[in-house]
Structure 1
């Protein structure tokens, strides 16, 4: 990986935004990259705004806290855009030129002003129906974040699928200890599956669906990932 990539994830409580940043950072560590993930939210409750940040690079990373200038903005829920349920407004504020926006939906949610702002940044905008994919592949919307992670990797190559597989095993296949709402969410996910092996398999399949869609989109858009792992 030649350059650092900064990812800002915006969603609502219960969607696994914080978990996504952590899994991504864990996957990066499997490939001997440096990574830091951290959450940013108020009340830990469902449907409340939630953000998480992942910083990944080939050299040590010292900055933490709010990510003001992301390379990638991930929108886990349409209400981040349509109802302003975000700590950062507009939702793509600070996005670097030639950055990437990944939105969980299959319809155009952007206003003319938002489109104009993103066009000025020459941003790549990718819509992926992550929640629908989660229902179809994993049988639960709780896997929405897996489809989002797959989309990110498909567009950036920031980590490999093998590294993600190993990170999932660490997170859900072992006795990982989380706190507060994150631990509750993890347990809710586990109860959806009879065995941990099935959980790992379904999560990886959901990631793969998001990944494949992103790769196909990039191919049709003649887009080459700039963040190479």
Structure 2
């Protein structure tokens, strides 16, 4: 049984929405899957609306472009909902029935009655992840908020692993061509300091990813991936 998720990410400038989409896409590929991404944003400034469209699957993907009817939406900042800071409004526009809305917030938000009704009619699952709080507690900074969300979505979809996400973070921040050793006795001191800082940054981001993943698993949000695994097991048993 194939697994395929069209994911629409919405946030504001400065939160690393585009970076997060690249890391998720790379992580799915690292885990043996397929993925395409398309970022969309206007003025490059803090708090300006940003969206990114990510397709992930365990089978080939032939589409690229805006995602109008997502299986999953990820809301990086509450203002996407409360202030309409999104290019796609309402924030859940096009969400498929039984879809998932992963929202960065400390607890359930009070939605307009029409929004709550429409989401209920679609049987949408609203998952509230305190991503910014997790980032602050685990890494001491709020800049890893996007990593908490990527950890959670990795757990929810089951199309990647923590190890694959970690490698994606390394690829993003170190670059595949970054030389960590050579023929000389030691790295140049400037490069060495730069590398150490990046290593610390990677470690903090990975720790936040794990915390986001664990939060999702603890709350049973990985039911999608569990259901897919059960269906695969049943199909395999039927063939045997």
Same fold (TM over 0.5): yes
Classify the secondary structure of the residue corresponding to 2:220: helix
What does residue 211 of structure 1 align with?
Answer: 213
- Correspondences of 1:50-129 after superposition (within 5 Å): 50-109=50-109, 110-129=111-130
TM-score by length of 1: 0.86
Cα displacement string for residues 111-168 of structure 1 (whole angstroms, at most 9, x for unaligned residues): 2222211111111111011111111111211111000101111222121111101111
* Contact 2:148/2:213, CA 8 A, preserved across alignment: yes
* Contact 1:7/1:73, CA 8 A, preserved across alignment: yes
1:92 is displaced (CA, Å) by 0.7
What does residue 140 of structure 1 align with?
Answer: 141
* Contact 1:158/1:227, CA 8 A, preserved across alignment: no
What does residue 156 of structure 2 align with?
Answer: 155
Query: Partners in 2 of 1:64 and 1:8 — Cα distance?
Result: 13
Query: Partners in 1 of 2:112 and 2:80 — Cα distance?
Result: 13
Cα displacement string for residues 34-61 of structure 1 (whole angstroms, at most 9, x for unaligned residues): 2111101111111000000110113332
- Correspondences of 1:18-33 after superposition (within 5 Å): 18-33=18-33
What does residue 186 of structure 2 align with?
Answer: none
Q: Which runs of 5+ in 2 are unaligned?
A: 178-192, 233-240
Query: Partners in 2 of 1:100 and 1:106 — Cα distance?
Result: 17
The root-mean-square deviation of aligned C-alpha atoms, in Å, is 2.4
Classify the secondary structure of the residue corresponding to 1:59: coil
Query: Partners in 1 of 2:19 and 2:228 — Cα distance?
Result: 22
What does residue 171 of structure 1 align with?
Answer: 172
Classify the secondary structure of the residue corresponding to 1:46: coil
**Which consecutive segments of 4 or more residues in structure 1 shift more than 6 A?**
none
Classify the secondary structure of the residue corresponding to 1:195: helix
Query: Partners in 2 of 1:73 and 1:224 — Cα distance?
Result: 15
User: Which structure is larger by alpha-carbon Rg, 1 or 2?
Assistant: 2
Classify the secondary structure of the residue corresponding to 1:50: strand
1:227 is displaced (CA, Å) by 5.7
Classify the secondary structure of the residue corresponding to 2:219: helix
Q: Size of the alignment, in residue pairs?
A: 214
* Contact 1:20/1:146, CA 8 A, preserved across alignment: yes
1:196 is displaced (CA, Å) by 1.7
1:29 is displaced (CA, Å) by 1.2
Classify the secondary structure of the residue corresponding to 1:103: strand
TM-score by length of 2: 0.82
1:175 is displaced (CA, Å) by 6.1
1:108 is displaced (CA, Å) by 2.6
What does residue 200 of structure 1 align with?
Answer: 202
